[in-house]
Amino acid sequence: MTLRNKFNLDNPVELARLEEKISKQHAIELWQSDELKNFCAGTFAKLAYIHQKLFDEIYFFAGKIRDVNISKGNFRFASVLYLREAISSVEKLPQKTFDEIICKYVEMNVVHPFREGNGRSMRLWLDNILKSELGKVIDWSRVDKNNYLQAMERSPINDSEIKKLLATALTDKVADREIFMKGLDASYFYENYFAYRSEDLIRRR
């Protein structure tokens, strides 16, 4: 079923291509600008802003807490009845060490606060926390898709696997354009978006 969108598209393939193109462009703009400095790292306000920035041109729910229950496979994400409370609890988790930061990331993934686009938004959010607290980011192009998805699927029970996987891809090249662009493409590839290369979507000023 195609999500209700601002372009009134009912073809899921056409919508997916448009969503990838537009949201990637906005992700690049976020990276190029200082917008995120207005929010504290690790807050839901920053995550919601990232989500809104990526998807506001496409979806009415961009940046808004979902009002429907969602699941993936046999796993049901946090119920809408307790969503705000769950978000608040995750927001308060410590984030001073790598292990704490990944734990917080895993817990926010369990909450899955938005109707769509959680993974792509949260990976940008995670990098922002790592950059703020440790002066590092994840080079997502070095994180295998299947290994990542399997580790994330098991992370609510045991997060040691995802911690180990992401630790091997840490880099202190936080301002490296190539690492960001390739990482953005990898992040979208995890969600089966691969029609456009980020480098080809840069809006020339």
Tell me the backbone φ, ψ of residue 168, rounded to 5 degrees. -70, -15
Number of domains in the chain: 1
Q: Does 41 fall in a domain?
A: yes
Alpha-carbon distance of 19 to 24, in angstroms, equals: 8
Within the chain, strands assigned E span 71-72, 75-76, 137-138, 170-171
Q: Which domain range does residue 81 map to? A: 12-194
Residue 3 domain-assigned?
no
Question: Do the beta carbons of residue 106 and residue 134 sit within 8 Å?
Answer: no
* DSSP assigned state of 82: G
Query: Tell me, what DSSP letter sits at residue 165?
Result: H
Per-position pLDDT tens, the chain of length 205: 799 999 999 999 999 999 999 999 999 999 999 999 999 999 999 999 999 999 999 999 999 999 999 998 889 999 999 999 999 999 999 999 999 999 999 999 999 999 999 999 999 999 999 999 999 999 999 999 999 999 999 999 999 999 999 999 999 999 999 999 999 999 999 999 999 999 999 865 3
Domain presence at residue 205: no
Residue 203: per-residue pLDDT: 67
Q: What is the pLDDT of residue 205?
A: 39
d(CA 95, CA 41): 9
CATH code assigned at 170:
1.10.3290.10
Q: Please report whether residue 200 resides in a domain.
A: no
Give Cβ neighbours of residue 71 (< 8 Å, ≥ 6 apart).
77
Long-range Cβ pairs for the range 95-102 (8 Å, 24+): 95/41, 95/42, 95/129, 95/133, 96/133, 98/130, 98/134, 98/163, 98/167, 98/170, 99/163, 101/42, 101/126, 101/129, 101/130, 101/133, 101/134, 102/126, 102/159, 102/162, 102/163, 102/166
Predicted confidence at residue 73, as pLDDT, reads 83
132: in domain: yes
CA angle 80–23–4, rounded 5-degree value: 50
Q: Which residue has the tokens 């995550």?
A: 47
Is residue 159 assigned to a domain? Answer: yes
30 in a domain, yes or no?
yes
For residue 204, the model assigns a pLDDT of 52
pTM for the full predicted model? 0.97
- What is the identity of the amino acid at 47? L
pLDDT value, residue 202: 85
d(CA 74, CA 88): 25
Give the pLDDT confidence score for residue 74 in this predicted structure.
Answer: 83
Domain assignment present for residue 18? The answer is: yes
